[in-house]
Amino acid sequence: MQKINLRDLIDKFKLKIIADTDCDMPCITVADLNRPGLELTGYFDYFAYDRIQILGRTEISYLEGLPKNILKARLEKFFSYDIPCVIITRDLIPPEELTLVARKYQKPVLGSPAATTQFMSRLTDFLESMLAPRTTIHGVLVDIYGIGILIIGESGIGKSETAIELIKRGHRLVADDAVEIKQVAKNVLVGTAPKLIRHFLEVRGLGVIDVKTIFGAGSIRNDIKIELVAELVEWEKYKEDDRLGLEEEKIKILDSNITKKTIPIRPGRNLAAILEVAAMDFRLKAFGYNAALEFSKRLLEEINKDKKNLQ
């Protein structure tokens, strides 16, 4: 499970600490946010207490209008839950009872000058990105015509050499050797390189080279959505089941199913050109054109014509 320390969140969004805690700052594990409307009225049956609690103008105005005894009782109940923190937007000043009860239960209360809706949108995007499920895969990730292609295969099969040829053709490197992948949505994977090896590429016989320095800033990219996986295999190990490409192979990464192409290699095959064609063909399929289906359709039409002629 991914976690974000609240201190990192404070630094990222430059939040003001209204009520501090003597304990260590908690870790955030849930990307969703909660505006406690019904809870402040006393209804806690379905309280999403594991989320960051956001108080805007509506919530603060409501609290200020409550009688002191009811206000304290509601806040006592609210802060008794194991909430990670409370963030008050628009630089609003909360009732004094709120900060007193928050300190009593050791719950951090933070402030932001941003408008509530705007702040929640930015915070949700950040949390979803940072808390997304992730993994690391051995391979090379490149940007070919705007399509993120993850090249995988056995060590030494030629992934990095293929990446160099693609870079020379004007495409961009995202990651070499280790590709960090996070799932930002269902069947949506984003890949990047670990910070230590970002923009570097290893070539056997040459060692490590700096792609950005040699080929320029236009040859690299920090991250990209992975839309296609190309597995390089030795010619002898390649099993040819569907030469037309009618059946689409899938590979599961995290909880996402990504289109996969298995490409056999042997001396004389231009892998960079093949991957360029694979990227263009993938884009055509996204627009609704499938060459394999079109060919199969034409073939079937010709067979039916021949049958009629024979009759």
Catalytic one of 3, 16, 138, 250? 138
Tokens 């056999």 appear where? 264
Condensed to tens digits (0 to 9), the pLDDT of residues 134-155 reads 999 999 999 999 999 999 999 8
Is 153 part of any known ligand binding site? yes
For residue 245, is pLDDT > 70? no
Catalytic one of 68, 237, 239, 243? 243
Condensed to tens digits (0 to 9), the pLDDT of residues 187-204 reads 899 999 999 999 999 988
Q: How far is CA 25 from the centre of its chain?
A: 26
Is 168 part of any known ligand binding site? no
Is 65 part of any known ligand binding site? no
- Provide the pLDDT for residue 241: 67
Catalytic one of 51, 107, 159, 172? 159
Is 159 part of any known ligand binding site? yes
Active site residue 122: no
Condensed to tens digits (0 to 9), the pLDDT of residues 163-193 reads 999 999 999 999 999 999 999 888 899 999 9
pLDDT-derived band at 285, boundaries 50, 70, 90: confident
pLDDT-derived band at 23, boundaries 50, 70, 90: confident
Is 288 part of any known ligand binding site? no
Active site residue 16: no
**Token pair listed for 102:** 């928050």
pLDDT-derived band at 209, boundaries 50, 70, 90: very high
Domains of the chain with CATH codes? 4-130 (3.40.1390.20), 134-294 (3.40.50.300)
